[in-house]
Each structure stands twice: as structure tokens, then as C-alpha cells.
A and B are shown apart, each in its own frame.
Chain A
Amino acid sequence: MTDTIAATVAPGAAGDDVGEARSLTQDAWRSLKKNKMFWISVALIGVFVLMAIWPSLFTSKDPGFGDINNVRATPSAEHWFGTDTQGYDIYARTIYGARASIIVGILASLTTLLLGGVLGVLAGFYGGWLDALLSRITDIFYAIPLILGGILFMASFPNGANSNYFVVVGKVVLVLTVFGWPTIARLMRSSVLQVKPNEYVLAARALGASPWRIIRSHILPNALAPAIVVATINLGVFIVVEATLSFLGIGLTPPAISWGVAISDALNAIRTYPHILLFPSLFLSLAVLAFILLGDAVRDAFDPKSR
């Protein structure tokens, strides 16, 4: 990094970097490319996403086939991770379980980013009574802890035995969105407030740019980074919350296959058959870890202070 700066400031120094104007995003990308952690987390996430889209690529076994003659078997050539209490193949269940967690995590992160982002930008940019109103609404939802809100909501609208898979998953995404957006909204509001007084925003306004244009081409590019970082880290948090709700028996419910459901089933047998618990926990933790590492790497890239 230092030699690039030196090349830019030294007048007349030959080199491609001289005079090249790089935006914050390009700058961040350059430092991301060199970060080993970034590539490790991207690779891990890639595998998990592939697992979620196309599970049969990883296993030919049917996750819904329970062999009750062969329950709680330890890992073997036939069943790589062994079988669980119902005689299901744990490897197949773990692979197929990725889908629920990844969908819940990604969708909930996107919706909280969208909802929190829009409300945060509106509050920060327009200020006045709109800010006061939106900030109080944010406070209201912020005051209800995520787990508590999730438990109440899922208990109020429980899953039936024949509920559609997407309805079950959608409900979890909805509750995570409803109680998860205030963090992003607060963050977005404060970073918009930081960007707003800058000269280039004033200049754009003086030139007669519409509010929408100012937000889109001046405010957003400079204020979005922290929110994206937190949304990425939250993705891991949402996966954990989904598992916690499933542990309490009200998140995803069988016949949906998910890591949370598998873990909560396995916890009953922790004393006698710990291997049933190990594999779904391991995959869940790896997925959470991958998103946290990705968020950390992106934060470091966008934060000049940490370089």
C-alpha cells in the first residue's frame, strides 16, 4: 500500500498508478484481494451455497429415508457421519440441512438491509419530524430482544403439520426481519448524517440535483459500507437464531430438514451418542464463521484506520 501512495505523491515518477483515481470501493477491493481470510470465507460460503442449491451433488442418499433397523450407528463407509435416532443418514441430512439455514440467513440479511437501509436513509437525509418519528419506531422495535420477539411471534403463528416448506421458512425470515432491522436503520442513519454535510452533497444540491439523485449517487455509495458489513455479520447471527428457535421447538419444525432441528434432536442423546450432535453443529458453526470472517474482511478493507 505504501509504495502506491509514494508513487502517487512523487511528481514525475513513472508508473501506471500515477494519476489513477480510485474510488473507495476500488480501494477496498484491492486490499480485499490480498486478504487470505477473505478468500477462505468466500470459498466456504461458495460450498455452502452450492450445497443449498444442489444438495444431490454432494450425496446420493435420500435424507427422508429412515432405516429403523440401523439407528444411532457410528460413522462407517456406508454412513459417513453415522445415523441418527430415526435411522436417517446424518451426512445426507447435514447436506440437505444447509438449504434452510442459508436461505434464512441470506433472505433475512437482505430484507433487514433493505428495510433498515431505507428507513435509516429517510431518517438521516430528511431529518425533522420524519427523523423523530422513524427514530422512535426504531427504538420501539430495538427494545424487544430478538430471541424474545421471535419466540412470541412463532408461538402466535405456529406451524401446522402440513405447512408448506416455504411458508415455514418465510415465517422465520419475517420474524427475523421484523425484529432485526433496527440495528441497520440506526447504523444507516448515523452514517448518512456523517456524509450529508460534505461539500460534494452541498454542491450537488446547489446544482439542482433532486433528493433521489443525491441519495443515489452521493449519499449511498459513501454511507452503505458499514451497513453491508453488519448485515454480513448478522447473517451468521440469524442462522444461530433460527437454530435457537428450532431448539425451542418453534422455529423450523420437522419434516423440514435443518441444522437447528438436527442439533436440537441430537442434544437429547449427547451423553450416549455425541457424534449425532457433532456433525450438524460443525457445519452450522463453519457457516456462521464464514460469514463473520467475510464481514470482518470487508470491514477491514473499507476502514482505512485498520490498514
Chain B
Amino acid sequence: MGKYIVRRLLQMIPVILGATFIIFAMVFALPGDPTVGKCGERPCSAEYVAKFREEHNLNDPLVVQYGKYLGKFVQGDLGTNYYGIPVKEDLAQRYTITGRLALMAIAFEAVIGILAGVLAGVRKGRFIDNLVTVSTLFVISIPVFVIGVFLQYLFGIKWGIFPATVPSLDAPTSSLILPAFVLGSLSIAYVARLTRTNLVENLRSDYVRTAKAKGLTKNRAVGVHTLRNSLIPVVTFIGADFGGLLGGAIVTERIFNIQGVGGYIWRGINSRDGVAVVSTVTVLVIVYLLVNLLVDLLYGVLDPRISHD
């Protein structure tokens, strides 16, 4: 187990290096000059521009810049953005709210998605099955931003059940319910379908027939024997989806005006703030890879036949 974790962590290093380099190269290619508009109405003095470029290593070639950035990153220094604020402080605040949002979205996925999938799978071909299959298809085929704006209008503005926007960084959990549901909506549908498919397939297998023949109640046969096996692909999906959620947060946070990571990346891109964008995305990639490692370790819990020795 320990050996497996160490090997996986080592494998992560080239992935993190590669992914951050790609991000770095794309941010480097961002058109426009970061010093524009920094000195008010007049153009910046040549001395200021030179100092700014020197401070942020903008005169070096791409690879050298990346190396210098990486050197600092390894020591835990995420750099300062172009406004002189340490990125670390910004990120700590913003990851808190986006993390809450993503965790709530995952909770929605796990609870609503699996529940709907189980209900549909157990009653295959009946009304509830058709309802789940059709409604999930419906959700999958509508873009998330349309769902988001629509639900924001209905629940936030027309009926006033939830707040329509989340302006503050320490927002109460209740104001994040609607955005989290929107963020997770697509995945809820996928989880429901995936659970249903796997459950239906496993319900036909021999060990379920044996369990039933032994006189187990249907609840136990489904809940204990079948569901546990059927959940492995679902857990994989939820884990892999975590990165997608953090990326999708850019859209959701824009709709609900949440000052989270997505908004930070978006603002960083628009103000040509390379350090801010690269650091944010690097943290995102690392979180994503760690979550996937965690998921792989969870397999062993769900299915004792899978071991990591």
C-alpha cells in the first residue's frame, strides 16, 4: 500500500510539470501588455516598465521564466500577482469558497445521482426508470450555463427562494445551494445513468441470484451485494469529475457572481496576470491528481478483491 502510494506520487511529478508548462506557455502567449493602464491616464514611464518586467522575469525566454517560477513554487512561494498581492493569500480565500461549492456539488451528485440511479435500476422498465432516463438525457443536452441562468431567474428572481447572487467571500452555505446544484447538474445526470446501467448489469449476475436464493431480502441483496459492486465506476467518475467541477466553476461563478477560483482565473486572464493564473491552475491540477489517487485507494474499500500491494 505504502509503496503503491509512493509510486503514484512519483508518477504525478512529470504530469504536474507538463501540465503547468502547457498552462505557462499559453499564459505567456496571452496578447497585450500587462503594464498598460497601470499608471492611470498617462503611459507608464520607461523606467517603471523596465522595473516591472525585470521584477516579473518578463525579459527572460519562456523556459527560463518557467524554471524561475518553478524554483519559487517548490519552496512554497506562489509569487505575487501584478497588483503586488501574494497569490497564496488570494488563493487561500478563493479556494475556500470554490472548495465549498465543489464539495456541495459532489454531495448533490452522490446523493441525488445515486438515489435516482438506484430507483431507476431496481424498477427497470417501469415509470420511475423512464422518468429518470428521460430527465437525465434532458439535463445532459442543455448547456450548464442555460440551466444556471434559467434556475437563477426562477429561484432567485421570480420566486425569491434562494439569493440570486453570492457577493461576499464568506457567504452562508444556504446561498451556495443553488450554484452548487447548477454546477453539479450535469454530473448528477451522468451519475444517475451510470449507477442505473451498472446496477442493471450486476442484478443479472449469479451472485445476486445466489443471494436471493439464500432467502435474503431484496433490500439486502440490492443494498449490500449489488450496490457496492456497482458503485466502483460511479466513484471513479465522481473523482475524475472533481477537476471538471473546478473548471466548470468558471462558468457557474460568473453566473452567480461568486468571488472564487473561477472568477480569479478569469480576471487573471483578462488582466494578463500570468503568475496568478498559473499558480491557481497548478494548485487545481495538484488537487485533481490527489483526488484521483484517493479514488484509486477507495477501490480497495469498495471491492476487497482489488488490492494495491
Contacts and interface: CB of A to CB of B under 8 A. Distances in A.
Contacts of B150: 270
B29 A157 contact: yes
Contacts of A148: 246-247, 250, 265, 281, 284
Interface residues of B, number: 45
Contact of B14 (A136, A146, A152, A263): A136
Contacts of A292: 137, 140-141
B162 interface: no
A291 to B, nearest CB: 9
Contacts of B142: 281, 285
Q: Which of A144, A151, A248, A288 has the most CB of B within 10 A?
A: A144
11 contacts: A136-B14, A137-B18, A139-B15, A140-B15, A148-B265, A155-B269, A155-B270, A248-B251, A267-B146, A271-B157, A292-B141
Given A148-B281, A151-B250, A140 B269 contact: no
B110 interface: no
Contacts of B251: 147, 244, 247-248
B257 to A, nearest CB: 14
Contacts of B18: 136-137, 139-140
Interface in A128-149: 136-137, 139-141, 143-148
Secondary structure dominating the interface of B: helix
B269 A144 contact: no
Given A145-B246, A240-B143, A263-B143, A156 B31 contact: yes
B254 interface: yes
Interface string B239-271: 000011011101100100000000001100110
B232 to A, nearest CB: 15
Nearest to B243: A145
Contacts of B31: 156-158
Nearest to B254: A248
Given A140-B22, A143-B15, A148-B250, A244 B29 contact: no
Secondary structure dominating the interface of A: helix
Interface string B9-48: 0010011101100110011011100000000000000000
Contacts of B247: 145-148
Interface of A: 136-137, 139-141, 143-148, 151-153, 155-158, 236, 240, 243-244, 247-248, 260, 263-264, 267, 270-271, 277, 281, 284-286, 288-289, 292-293, 305-306
A119 to B, nearest CB: 15
Nearest to B139: A285
Contacts of B243: 143, 145
A143 B289 contact: yes
> Which 6 residue pairs spanning A and B have beta carbons closest together?
A145-B247, A140-B18, A148-B247, A288-B141, A289-B141, A285-B141
A143 B19 contact: yes
Interface in B97-144: 137-138, 140-144
A277 B149 CA distance: 11
A151 B149 contact: no
Contact of A270 (B14, B19, B149, B201): B149
A151 B265 contact: yes
Nearest to B285: A143
Contacts of B281: 144, 148, 152
A81 to B, nearest CB: 17
A240 B141 CA distance: 8
Contacts of B192: none
Given A147-B247, A156-B29, A244-B251, A140 B19 contact: yes
A155 B30 contact: yes
